[in-house]
A = this chain, B = another copy of it.
């Protein structure tokens, strides 16, 4: 346990736990040093009206919804939540290195919202007023990447003029059938492995997990095709205790979190600290960072 290798990943407390090996005070700061220097204004509090709690027997998954990107899906998910639609439904699919999927997997609980036809909201139109923070590092799947409203995005200014949420670890989307307008939000999935970026612009992302991702990622994998649980496994599926919007709960029942802002000078420092790791453990800084290899720090609200 003395061995720290391979060194820290992403968690704030983990970052703080790593020994700083370099004594050169002129060197760019490490991740831990950047975060220690963060001011209250470098953090934001997600809007409770766009915060979804997925309460499982093992704990709470906190999901921040992305209304700018998928307004109709987000509105419909809220309608489903207020209908208590998800309560008691299973986590029905866990495919290793891919997705965990929950909701009306068995298609046994139809209602007005769950059968509503929604538009394909996998893309929004680029315009220069969008407060996008661009990542200068090159990307294979998109001409450019960055962050918008704290979410990772792909950007193609020309010719298409498109901006879209990218399928990074922890992103949440709406399962669909064969056509892009067939997902109502009644089945949601979270990415639990290598970013399946080939899904970008093919399926609607609706948000990301801020906390509790490990509860979705550590579930037993389904042995059926595509990671669905087999009939034998179904009785042991994890059931959703309840799904609620934070704004529908009293303050005392909420999980108050703060998320590092992506539109600050400090965030630029954070990106550089991840691009070229300065902790003493590293011998060769990568000189590059992928938009999906840069988890955004989340902490308890202070």
A residues with CB within 8 A of B: 1-11, 13-14, 17, 19, 21, 92, 94-99, 105-107, 137-141, 168-170, 173, 175-178, 180, 183, 187, 189, 193-203, 213-214, 217-221, 225-228, 274, 277, 280-286, 288-290, 292-293, 295
Contacts and interface: CB of A to CB of B under 8 A. Distances in A.
Given A1-B106, A169-B194, A293-B195, A175 B6 contact: yes
Closest 4 pairs (CB-CB, A-B): A9-B98, A17-B225, A96-B214, A214-B221
B284 A201 contact: yes
Q: Majority SS of interface residues in chain A?
A: loop
B138 A95 contact: no
List the number of copies, as a whole number.
2
24 contacts: A2-B177, A6-B199, A14-B225, A14-B227, A19-B178, A94-B218, A96-B213, A97-B169, A97-B295, A138-B140, A139-B140, A141-B288, A168-B194, A169-B193, A169-B194, A193-B193, A193-B194, A194-B292, A194-B293, A198-B274, A201-B284, A202-B284, A217-B218, A218-B218
